[in-house]
Amino acid sequence: MTAPAAHRTLRPAAGYRLAASVRSLIFSAYDPCARIAAGAFWWAARTPVGPATLALRPAGGGELLAEGYGPGAEWVCERADAVAGLRDDHRGFAELAAAHPLVAQLAARHSGLRMPATGQLFPRVLRAILEQKVTGTEAYRAYAATVRHFGEPAPGPLQPLLLPPEPAAVAAAPYWVFHPFGVEQKRADTLRRAAAEADRLERCTDSAEATRRLTGIRGIGPWTAAEVVRIAYGDPDAVSIGDYHVPNTVAWALAGEPRGDDARMLALLEPFRGHRGRVCLLLTAEGVHAPRYGPRMPIRSFARY
Q: Quick check: is 69 in a domain? A: yes
Q: What is the pLDDT of residues 124-162, one digit of tens each?
A: 999 999 999 899 999 999 999 999 999 899 999 998 999
d(CA 72, CA 113): 27
- Within a domain: residue 63? yes
Write the CA distances from 288 to 149, 213, 256, integer angstroms: 35, 32, 12
State the pLDDT at residue 3.
87
Q: Do the beta carbons of residue 150 and residue 165 sit within 8 Å?
A: yes
In sign, the C-alpha dihedral spanning 118, 122, 125, 131 is negative
Q: How confident is the model at residue 295 (pLDDT cuts 50, 70, 90)?
A: low
Give me the domain span that covers residue 48: 6-88
Does residue 196 share a domain with residue 138? yes
Span 206-215, average pLDDT: 98
pLDDT of residue 151: 83
Place 1 in a pLDDT band, splitting at 50, 70 and 90. Answer: low
In a shared domain, residues 134 and 202: yes
* Per-residue pLDDT at 94: 95
Q: Strand 34-37 to strand 6-10: parallel, antiparallel, or no bridges (unpaired)?
A: unpaired
The pLDDT of residue 298 is: 53
Check whether residue 192 and residue 128 sit in a common domain.
Answer: yes
Say yes or no to pLDDT of 195 above 80.
Answer: yes
Q: What is the pLDDT of residues 227-274, one digit of tens each?
A: 999 999 999 999 999 998 999 999 999 999 999 999 999 999 999 999
Q: How far apart are CA 26 and CA 24, in angstroms?
A: 6
Last residue of a domain, one of 70, 88, 106: 88
For the chain, what is the domain count?
Answer: 3
**CA 41, CA 56: separation in Å to the nearest integer?**
5
Neighbours of 236 (CB within 10 A): 21
How sure is the predictor about 302, in pLDDT bands with cuts at 50, 70 and 90? low
Task: Write b or e for each residue in 245-274: b if 16 or more Cβ atoms lie within 10 A of its Cβ, otherwise e.
Answer: ebbbbbbbbbeeeeebebebbbebbebbee
Domain at 50, CATH number? 3.30.310.20
Q: State pLDDT tens for residues 171-191.
A: 999 999 999 999 999 999 999
Q: Specify the pLDDT at position 270.
A: 98
Does some domain include residue 72?
A: yes
Q: Is residue 200 over pLDDT 90?
A: yes
Indicate the helix (H) or strand (E) that contains 251: helix 246-255
Q: In terms of domains, do 216 and 154 share one? A: yes
Q: Is residue 38 very low, low, confident or very high in pLDDT (cuts 50, 70, 90)? A: confident
CATH code, domain with 126: 1.10.340.30
| 3-state per-residue secondary structure call for 276-295 | HHHHHHHHHHHCCCCCCCCC
Residue 280 pLDDT greater than 90, yes or no: yes
Q: Please report whether residue 97 resides in a domain.
A: no
Give residue 122's Cα distance to chain centre. Answer: 11
Task: Please report, as a single letter, which amino acid is at residue 161.
Answer: L
Is residue 196, in this structure, part of any structural domain at all?
Answer: yes
pLDDT(305) > 60? no
Q: Answer yes or no: do 130 and 213 share one domain.
A: yes
Element (H, E) at 250: helix 246-255
Assess whether 82 and 17 both reside in one domain.
yes
Determine the Cα–Cα distance for residues 76 and 59; give it in Å rounded to an integer. Answer: 18
> In this structure, is residue 13 part of a structural domain?
yes
What pLDDT score was predicted for residue 303?
54
Using CA atoms, how far residue 14 sits from 17, 72, 98, 118, 281, in Å, is 9, 30, 22, 22, 20
Q: Does residue 112 form part of some domain?
A: no
Predicted pLDDT of residue 296: 52
133 and 70 part of one domain: no
Specify if 266 maps to a domain. Answer: yes
DSSP three-state, residue 150: helix
User: Is 250 found in the same domain as 215?
Assistant: no
Q: Are residues 210 and 250 in the same domain?
A: no
Mean per-residue pLDDT over the chain, rounded: 94
| Interval 167-171 mean pLDDT | 98
Are both 255 and 167 inside the same structural domain?
Answer: no
